[in-house]
Amino acid sequence: MKLRSLLTSLSWMCLFLNTCQSREANDDRPNVVLIMVDDLGIGDLGCYGNGTMRTPHVDRLAREGVRLTQNIAAASMCTPSRSAFLTGRYPVRSGMVSDTEVRVITTLGDCSGLPLNEITFAALLKKQGYTTGLVGKWHQGLNCQSRSDHCHHPHNYGFDYFYGMPLTLIEPCWPDPSRDTELAIESKIWLCVQLVAIAVLTFTIGKLSRWVSVPWSLILSMVLFIFLLSYFWFSSYTSPLYWNCLLMRDHEITEQPMKAERAGSIMVKEAVSFLERNRKGPFLLFFSFLHVHTPLPTTTEFIGTSKHGLYGDHVQEMDSMLGKILDALDDFGLRDHTLVYFTSDHGGHLEARLGHAQLGGWNGIYKGGKGMGGWEGGIRVPGLVRWPGKLPAGKVIEEPTSLMDILPTVAALAGATVPQDRVIDGRDLMPLLRGDTQRSEHEFLFHYCGVYLHAVRWHPKDSEAVWKAHYMTPVFQPPGALACYETIFCQCSGKLVTSHNPPLLFDLSRDPSESTPLTRDTEPLYDLVIRTVAAAVKRHKESIKPVLRQLSGSNEGNVWLKPCCGVFPFCLCDKEGNSSAASSS
């Protein structure tokens, strides 16, 4: 009996030790906070050389972590860039590209979205026991066949919790004050439509029930009146405010239309609440800023605080919000156990202007901006990575990295395996961040504009050079403007693009501004570089399988898919009020 008791005790002790070791192993896995700003230019930040914009909290991340100076977005527009970030794959592989001038999901009536067979970093970490949350902008689709099927909802891509905007900020979300009269008139028209609709319903029921005597001709006239007013209203400036500018918590619409100037503050509270609820970890939080996308809804506290007008005010408000999230990590004792990554989805929008006021970001020394497939200003974005005690503070890495690297990086940290049944274009950043290697695993990076390959960069394994070959470049309007002011965004093909054969060639290590193309006369390696890049393009294109294009005209603007928090067309609600964050999962 004593021997049996001893063996039983030893068995329990082994089990206890094994459990402790398992917990200790799990404790090595960090929490992950991914922070993406919308339309932020790399030149807007102090840590990237801006001496006139105050961004102390972003700069704090740079001091306390690793700063990437050649961090590249996979696309220069929101929707495809974010799909690549989520999946670690070029958007052309998932069909999140277009061959038209529309390269993003434009309304909540679009039935397009990230294909459900794509695997995100949230899905990988969720399988490893992480609690996953997305707060902020989604912009990867919502509905497919009805306004409530939510087929492209973040829940279907591995996120346990979602609070935010399913689309993106558009101008009507925070209307120009000069249009107040127009907005007031259009709002009254919509109210009139709803009142007449109620009257028609009442008269119809009364007529059929025989308790009211109303001629059918009057009812039909009222129906026609509704159709005419509705047509006018749906084509008005105000209409998108009601159908696209809304907030959701998980599957519930909490505010329609949303009050854009307070949305950012509510999202910060939601993020802090998520951190507090899940402080025992492990967790993944993707905080996707609405800032600093136009129309720049800024609280009165920050208006007039910068030297750069409303855009500068908005950037500084973003920085303050970032500070609250970083402070929450400190307050909850999570700082040393959390990897924080900060970036932008692409470069600043040069063409965003109101009169002479610049409403878009500054891309520093880099040519081009948002919407331009190959020029550096559209795709070179901030990249800051902090993990105290694990990554060196103040380190600067000038090697090519990509937003697509986040999926394999956090997967490895969480103990997950990246999908083996598809091409993953991202690479695990940790060896480079820790200093285990001095070279990026990206020998080639391919720069798309929609479905069109505009440029390729090549960083040879035995050289410090970073060659960049441009096969297509946008035609700037007006000539010499270095932007496309006449079309708001530069285009990817057709008459507004110049094709180059042979391609324009630059060495970014010597000419990061892409100011002087190299030629056979000025560069001895010219022919070798052109041949090598062409061979890489051939291999790359052979690796791409045909898929259904999500961003096609046939998927756009279906009225019956637009969400409604009430009974259509009475879609008005405000469940936010002055409340702070929710206490759900």
Choose between 82 and 179: higher pLDDT: 82
Query: What pLDDT score does 566 carry?
Result: 80
β-strands 161-165, 247-249 pairing: antiparallel
Cα–Cα dist 485/477, whole Å: 6
**For 94-101, what is the mean pLDDT?**
95
pLDDT in tens, 146-168: 999 999 999 999 999 999 999 99
Query: What pLDDT score does 219 carry?
Result: 75
Query: What pLDDT score does 580 carry?
Result: 42
- The residues, ordered by sequence, that sit 6+ positions from 30 with a Cβ below 8 Å of its Cβ are 282, 337, 338, 339, 387, 390, 413
Give percent above pLDDT 70 in the chain.
88
Query: What pLDDT score does 46 carry?
Result: 98
Longest CA pairwise span in the chain (Å): 98
Of 75-79, 204-208, 313-317, minimum mean pLDDT range:
204-208
Burial of 114 (0-12, 13-18, 19+ CB in 10 A): buried
Choose between 274 and 2: higher pLDDT: 274
β-strands 573-574, 252-256 pairing: antiparallel
**For 48-77, what is the mean pLDDT?**
98
CA angle 309, 314, 319 (to 5 degrees): 130
- The residues, ordered by sequence, that sit 6+ positions from 195 with a Cβ below 8 Å of its Cβ are none
- At residue 71, φ and ψ (nearest 5 deg) are -90, 125
Element (H, E) at 24: helix 2-27
**Res. 180 pLDDT band, cuts 50 70 90:** low
Residue 139: active-site member = yes
Shortest CA distance to 404 belongs to which of 170, 93, 55?
93
- Render 416-453 in DSSP notation, one character per residue: ----SSS-------HHHHHTS-SS-S-SEEEEEETTEE
Choose between 415 and 224: higher pLDDT: 415
**Res. 20 pLDDT band, cuts 50 70 90:** very low
Cα radius of gyration rounded to whole Å, the chain: 26
Of 8-22, 271-285, 537-551, minimum mean pLDDT range:
8-22
Of 74-78, 164-168, 221-225, minimum mean pLDDT range:
221-225
Element (H, E) at 165: strand 161-165
Query: What pLDDT score does 240 carry?
Result: 74
Query: 3-state class of 455 per DSSP?
Result: strand
Domain ranges of the chain: 33-175+238-561, 179-237
Cα–Cα dist 150/138, whole Å: 13
**For 75-93, what is the mean pLDDT?**
99
H helices present in 108-179, as ranges: 121-127
Query: What pLDDT score does 570 carry?
Result: 74
- At residue 195, φ and ψ (nearest 5 deg) are -65, -45
Helices 78-87 and 406-414 cross at an angle (nearest 10°) of 30
- The topology under which CATH files domain 33-175+238-561 is Alkaline Phosphatase, subunit A (3.40.720)
Write down the catalytic residue from 47, 78, 245, 492: 78
pLDDT in tens, 119-153: 999 999 999 999 999 999 999 999 999 999 999 99
Query: What pLDDT score does 6 carry?
Result: 45
Question: Residue 401's beta-bridge partner residues?
Answer: 71
Reading the block at residue 24, the tokens are 């200790």
pLDDT in tens, 247-284: 999 999 999 999 999 999 999 999 999 999 999 999 99
Asked if the model's pLDDT at residue 432 lies above 90, the reply is yes
User: How many Cα atoms occupy the beta-carbon half-sphere of 172 within 13 Å?
Assistant: 20
User: How many Cα atoms occupy the beta-carbon half-sphere of 307 within 13 Å?
Assistant: 7
Asked if the model's pLDDT at residue 1 lies above 60, the reply is no
In eight-state DSSP terms, residue 484 is B
**Full strand arrangement of the beta sheet holding 467-474:** 444-449, 452-458, 467-474, 497-507
Write down the catalytic residue from 47, 57, 111, 139: 139
Whole-model pTM?
A: 0.89
Residue 337: active-site member = no
Query: What pLDDT score does 188 carry?
Result: 67
pLDDT in tens, 318-333: 999 999 999 999 999 9
**Res. 421 pLDDT band, cuts 50 70 90:** very high
Asked if the model's pLDDT at residue 26 lies above 80, the reply is no
**For 439-462, what is the mean pLDDT?**
98
Q: Assign residue 482 a region: left if phi > 0, alpha if psi is -120 to 50, beta otherwise? A: left
Contact in structure between 388 and 64 (CB atoms under 8 Å)? yes
Shortest CA distance to 393 belongs to which of 335, 328, 319, 318?
335
Contact in structure between 472 and 502 (CB atoms under 8 Å)? no
CA angle 7, 9, 15 (to 5 degrees): 105
pLDDT in tens, 378-410: 999 999 999 999 999 999 999 999 999 999 999
**Res. 547 pLDDT band, cuts 50 70 90:** very high
Cα–Cα dist 120/94, whole Å: 12
CB neighbour burial string for 155-179, b if at least 16 within 10 angstroms, e if fewer: bbbbbbbbbbbbbbbbebbbbeeee
β-strands 380-386, 338-344 pairing: antiparallel
Question: Residue 133's beta-bridge partner residues?
Answer: 161, 285
pLDDT in tens, 562-585: 899 987 767 889 998 754 444 444
Query: 3-state class of 277 per DSSP?
Result: helix
**Res. 178 pLDDT band, cuts 50 70 90:** low
Query: 3-state class of 269 per DSSP?
Result: helix
Cα–Cα dist 225/217, whole Å: 12
